[in-house]
Structure 1
Amino acid sequence: MFKRIGNLIKGFMGLFIGGLEKRNPEALLDVEKENLRKQIAEFNKGLATHAGLVEKLMSQTKKLDKEETELRAKTAANLKAGNRELAGQYAVKLQAVDKEHDEMAVQLEEAEVRYKELVKARDVSVSTAKKKIEELSRDIDDMKVKTAMAELNEMASGMVTSIGGSGDTLNRLEGMVEEERTKAAGRARVAKDSLDMGDINMKAAEEEALAEMALADFAAAEGIEIESTAKAEPSKPQSETTKGTMGPGVSE
Structure 2
Amino acid sequence: MGFFARLARLIRGFFSLFIGGLEERNPEAMLEDLKNQLNAAKVRYHTTTANIIAREKTAAAKLKSAEKELEECRLQIQEAKRLNDRELALQLLIQEEHLEAAYNTALEAYNAIKAEADRAREEFKNFEAEMELKMSQIRQLKVQNELADLKKEMNALRSNYATETGAGRINEGLKQAEELIQGKLAKEEAIAELGQNSLDTRMRSLKGSMARRRAEEKLAALFGDEPAQMEEGRVVKERVQE
Q: 2:182 aligns to what? A: 178
Closer/same/farther in 2, CA of residues 123 and 64 from structure 1, 3 Å limit: same
Give the C-alpha shift of residue 177 in structure 1: 3.5
Partner of 1:199: 207
Paired amino acid for 1:229? L
Give, in angstroms, the shift of residue 55 of structure 1. 1.7
Query: What is the letter of the counterpart of residue 119 of structure 2?
Result: E
User: Aligned ranges for residues 76-155 of structure 1 at < 5 Å?
Assistant: 76-79=78-81, 81-155=83-157
Distance 1:77 1:169, change over 3 A: closer
Within-5 A mapping of 1:16-35: 22-23=25-26, 25-35=27-37
- The alpha-carbon distance between structure 1 residues 231 and 62, as it changes in their structure 2 partners (threshold 3 A), is farther
Q: Indicate conservation of the 8 Å contact 1:57/1:104, yes or no.
A: yes
**Quick one: structure 1 residues 229 and 180, their matched pair in 2 at CA, closer, same or farther if it must change by over 3 Å?**
same
Q: In 2, are the aligned partners of 1:78 and 1:86 still within 8 Å (CA)?
A: yes
Moved more, 178-187 or 151-160: 151-160
Residue 104 of structure 1 aligns to a residue whose secondary structure is helix
SS at the partner of 2:73? helix
Higher-helix-fraction structure = 2
Distance 1:150 1:52, change over 3 A: closer
Listed as ranges, the gaps of 5+ residues in structure 2 are: 1-20, 229-242
Higher relative contact order (CA closer than 8 Å, sequence separation 6+): 2
CA contact (8 A) 1:29 1:133 kept: no
Distance (whole Å) between structure 1 residues aligned to residue 170 and residue 54 of structure 2: 79
Letter in 1 for 2:111: E
Q: Which residue of 1 aligns with 2:191?
A: 187
Query: More displaced, 85-94 or 187-196?
Result: 187-196
Letter in 2 for 1:187: I
Once the two structures are superposed, what CA deviation does each residue of 1:202-242 show, in whole Å capped at 9, x if it has no partner? 45777x69xx9xxxxxxxxxxxxxxx73461489xxxxxxx
Compared with structure 1, are the counterparts of its residues 231 and 92 closer, same or farther at alpha carbon in structure 2 (3 Å cutoff)? farther
SS in 2 for 1:138: helix
**Residues matched between the structures, number:** 200
Superposition CA RMSD, Å = 3.7
Cα 1:154/1:52, change in 2 over 3 Å: closer
Change (3 A) 1:130 1:229: farther
**Matched position secondary structure for 1:232:** coil
Per-residue deviation, 1:199? 2.3
For 2:182 and 2:206, the matched residues in 1 are separated by: 35
- Normalised by the length of structure 1, the TM-score is 0.62
**For structure 1, which runs of at least 5 residues remain unmatched after alignment?**
1-17, 213-227, 236-252
Distance change in 2, residues 1:34/1:149 (3 Å): closer
Distance 1:175 1:111, change over 3 A: same
The structure number with the bigger radius of gyration is 1
Q: Give the Cα–Cα distance (whole angstroms) in 2 for the partners of residues 41 and 150 of structure 1.
A: 37
- Structure 2 equivalent of residue 52 of structure 1: 54
Secondary structure in 2 aligned to 1:114? helix
Query: CA offsets, 1:106-137, max 9 Å, x none?
Result: 11111122122223333333332332222122
> TM-score scaled by structure 2?
0.64
Report deviation, 1:157: 4.9
The separation in 2 between residues aligned to 1:135 and 1:146, in whole angstroms, is: 16
